[in-house]
Amino acid sequence: MAQQHLDPTDPTAGAVPGDALAGYLRAQATEFLRALRLHRETGGDAGVPARTRARPGDNGSEESVDAARALRRSARRISASLHTFRPLLDTDWSEAIRPELAWLSGTLAMEHAYAARLERLLLALHRLSGATVLPTQPGAVGAPGGAEVPQKTEPADAAPPTHPAATPERGNLTVGAAKAGALLERQLTLARTRAHSSALQAIGSSRFHAVADNIAVLASEVPLTPAAATADLRPLAASAEERLTDAVTALPLVTAGSPYNAEALIHGLSPDPAPHPQDAPWHQVRLLLRLHRYALEVLHGGTGPVDVRLLASGQALNRHRDASEAAAAAAQAARTPRIAPATAYALGVLHADQRHEVEAARFAFQQSWQMQTVGTP
Amino acid sequence: MAQQHLDPTDPTAGAVPGDALAGYLRAQATEFLRALRLHRETGGDAGVPARTRARPGDNGSEESVDAARALRRSARRISASLHTFRPLLDTDWSEAIRPELAWLSGTLAMEHAYAARLERLLLALHRLSGATVLPTQPGAVGAPGGAEVPQKTEPADAAPPTHPAATPERGNLTVGAAKAGALLERQLTLARTRAHSSALQAIGSSRFHAVADNIAVLASEVPLTPAAATADLRPLAASAEERLTDAVTALPLVTAGSPYNAEALIHGLSPDPAPHPQDAPWHQVRLLLRLHRYALEVLHGGTGPVDVRLLASGQALNRHRDASEAAAAAAQAARTPRIAPATAYALGVLHADQRHEVEAARFAFQQSWQMQTVGTP
């Protein structure tokens, strides 16, 4: 398939003026404010366990999750655009607001991340036990933690953390797998609840109000430099793409492209409990790919066709990140004092399984990325 | 690459007379007797731990391992030929001797199998700990348990079961990995020692002497039926190939050919400790592939060129079997009472790693088998 969107490196296409950036930032700022209003109206109680909520079945939590996701979505895009096109923006202003947006995105993301991680690990435990996959969470395996996918496709996120759907299946699990599941549920639900409190605190803080005020200004007036009016956005977008391709070139793609290279588990029993250093370059590419995608959105005013190959590469890297963190959570849980050997054994199998997911995600990225570079004219 | 050997289904090629079978059986019987003499001369003490041997460094053990391997090698070929070409042989005689040969091969194989399994698991533990692979056992990962590879290429088999080479690396292992290694070493060395005693007992038994007498007769006079002199061996060899291709067709090759299908670990935490039922069809194909290979040897009088694709497929299935049994051994060790959680965790990672080796071996088989069927005219 040929590239449908404007190629930022193509000198024959028309220049994209600074107005496009201003329009994009205004639209994202408006979206941010809309999501913020929705989040306040729905109360933001998504992380509170069902048993402590007044009406466990109401839609408030789902809408609140959607609102938080929309908040993060626009915050990421604003922050990325300020970074990619920083020569065209008031430096003091953009330097001041970017760390604040990063803090906000990060704080809001944690709750969802813990919920998705628990979901992923419990599903893996069931899969590894030969049990049927829980029918109520169809999307959770394919695109867990997928903040990039269209909204409303992941009702699993709204499920309360007590997971009543999982209970009837427990009969199929060994004692070890069931205990491992219960341990992970305890630890990750606690982390999720804490993240929820942090998010609520953050949204009520004066620091957050300052960010919201800044974004409200951005929605009406973008602080462009005088030169921005006549500048062309494409060279800056091309630089973002170049940083991405440079980082991808540095990845061990040949290894990743040969299946079952057993590379991801190579430190599976390493005494060092820190995250795998081998994952870092992949996480970095994930961020650069996102910057590139958002830069393309700016160029096309958000109306360009979806580049399926870029999307597939990004999803593979999301899966890579999710599996990497899930594997670390399983390893971490195995360090809990006084657990039974059967529990530890199940966590070991689970850790290795998720590290193989990491390897599989790298393979998937290599496949979709190769497709992309071959297809680009 | 085109097939170099005679195609047993090609009607234009010349018929292969029953004499070829008689010649092949005589040659294998002679080889069996030679290996038996060598085994008796070297004392067959390969399985005795080094510390209990008079001269730990002498070559007796290595020669004895080679002799046992040669014994099994010819016993397998004789047994397979009796099976494939049974209409051309005296029925009573071949029906009587085949179970005896199977008993002999099986008994002699166990000691080597336990040694290779321990080797494989200890190497995997080191690999999973990010430690360098032991330099003294270069062939052990690539072709473990490879009774099919040319002799003298696997000095690792001669290493005493105390594995002094592994000791300096232990510093790199976590406590869990080191304890898991020690546990596996204890259990598999015990099993190996028992297998060694059984093999020694078997070779000294009157049952074995009866087999040896039968093979001695075979070395001079093959009990062919009167019809065998004018019969063509090719249709019987073609039937063996057909049984193989039928069994391969029934394998889930499409799944196996898509990398990271996560199929092999699907019962990784199943409460049932029995061997994975999903492995059985692959083990069956491994045996049928061997029958097909030996039938080709009969047709070509042992002088045909090596079919590298058939060899690669067979090696993938050997690896499949070895990894499957190693995974079961790790799971079994994790059921040892009163082990530490860290040990159980390491065994869980190890089990999952070996199950992924199973999946990787299926992928490798699918790749080499596809190559073969495409290449066949």
Name all domains of chain B by residue range, CATH numbers in brackets. 18-375 (1.40.20.10)
Cβ–Cβ contact A329 with B under 8 A: no
Q: Which residues contact A345 (CB under 8 A, 6 or more apart)?
A: A176, B334, B344, B345, B347, B348, B351
A270:B129 CB<8 A = yes
A46 pLDDT above the threshold of 50: no
Chain B residue with minimum CA distance to A336: B341
Averaged over B80-109, what is the pLDDT?
A: 92
Predicted confidence band of residue A269 (pLDDT cuts 50, 70, 90): confident
A224: helix, coil or strand?
Answer: strand
For residue A37, what are its two tokens? 């209003």
Residues of B in contact with A174 (CB under 8 A): 269-271
Residues paired with B89 in a beta bridge: B224
Cα separation, A172 vs A180, whole angstroms: 14
Q: Is residue B350 over pLDDT 70?
A: yes
Q: How many Cβ atoms are within 10 Å of B234's Cβ, its own excluded?
A: 20
Question: Considering only CA atoms, which of A100, A375, A344 is closest in space to residue A218?
Answer: A100
Nearest CA among A180, A191, A160 for reference residue A351: A180
CB contact under 8 A, B262 and A334: no
pLDDT for position B341: 95
Pick from B113, B301, B106: nearest CA to B211: B106
Token output for B374: 């495409």
Task: Provide the sign of the torsion angle of the four alpha carbons B131, B136, B138, B143, taken in this order.
Answer: negative
Name every chain B residue with its beta carbon within 8 A of the beta carbon of A339.
341
Lowest mean pLDDT of A111-125, A126-140, B79-93, B171-185, name the range: A126-140
Average pLDDT estimate for B202-213: 93
Q: How far is A183 from chain B (nearest CA, A)?
A: 14
Count helices and strands (H / E) in chain B: 10, 0
* For residue B157, pLDDT beyond 80: no
Task: Report, as an integer, the average pLDDT of A142-158.
Answer: 36
% of chain A at pLDDT higher than 70: 77
**How is residue A213 annotated by DSSP?**
H
pLDDT at B155 over 50: no
CB B122 within 8 A of CB B352: no
- pLDDT tens per residue, range A291-336: 999 999 999 876 777 788 899 999 999 999 999 999 999 999 999 9
Token readout for B326 is 């190693």
Q: At what angle do helices B206-220 and B18-42 cross, to 10 degrees?
A: 140
Whether residue A289 lies within 8 A of chain B, CB to CB, comes out as: no
Instruction: Return the structure tokens found at B10.
Output: 């090609």
Beta strands per DSSP E along A117-243: none
- Tell me which of A55-64, A147-156, A192-201 is least confident: A147-156
The packing angle between helices A308-334 and B341-375, to 10°, is: 150
DSSP B301-330: TT-SPP-HHHHHHHHHHHHHHHHHHHHHHH
Asked whether B50 and B70 are in contact (CB, 8 A), the reply is no
Quote the pLDDT of residue B267.
76
pLDDT beyond 50 at A231? yes
Would the CB atoms of B353 and A268 count as touching at under 8 Å?
yes
Map tokens 């005296």 to a residue.
B90
Say whether A266 and B353 touch across the interface (CB within 8 A): no
Contacts of B142 (CB under 8 A, 6+ apart): none
DSSP state for residue A169 in the 8-state scheme: G
Q: What pLDDT sits at residue A164?
A: 39
Q: Read off the pLDDT of each residue in A58-71 and give the average, rounded to a whole number.
A: 76
A273 in contact with B at a CB cutoff of 8 Å? no
Taking the CA atoms of A338, A340, A344 and A347 in sequence, report the sign of the dihedral they define: negative
Please check the confidence at residue B214 and state whether its pLDDT lies above 80.
yes
Question: Does the pLDDT of residue A56 top 90, yes or no?
Answer: no
User: Which pLDDT belongs to residue A354?
Assistant: 95
Question: How large is the ipTM?
Answer: 0.81
Contact B21, B297 (CB under 8 A): no
Mark A306-326 as b/e (b = at least 16 C-beta within 10 Å). Answer: ebebbebbbbbbbbbbbbbbb
Looking at the complex, does the CB of residue B262 fall below 8 Å from at least one CB of chain A? yes
List the single best residue of A120, A347, A349 to mutate versus B (max B Cβ within 10 A). Answer: A349
> How far is the C-alpha of A16 from the C-alpha of B349, rounded, in Å?
53
Please determine, for residue B268, whether its predicted confidence score (pLDDT) is greater than 80.
no
DSSP letter, residue B274: S
Subunit contact A341:B346, Cβ cutoff 8 A = no
For residue A305, give the 3-state DSSP assignment: coil
pLDDT of residue B41: 86
Residue A132, pLDDT above cutoff 90: no
**Which helix (H) or strand (E) covers residue B351, if one does?**
helix B341-375
Average pLDDT taken over every residue of chain A: 81
Q: What is the pLDDT of residue B68?
A: 87
Q: How confident is the model at residue B296 (pLDDT cuts 50, 70, 90)?
A: very high
| Contact assessment for residue B346 and residue B121, using Cβ atoms and an 8 Å cutoff | no
Nearest by CB to residue B266, choosing from A130, A343, A363, is A130
Q: How far apart (Å, rounded) are the C-alpha atoms in residues B367 and B279?
A: 18
Give the per-residue pLDDT at B151.
Answer: 36
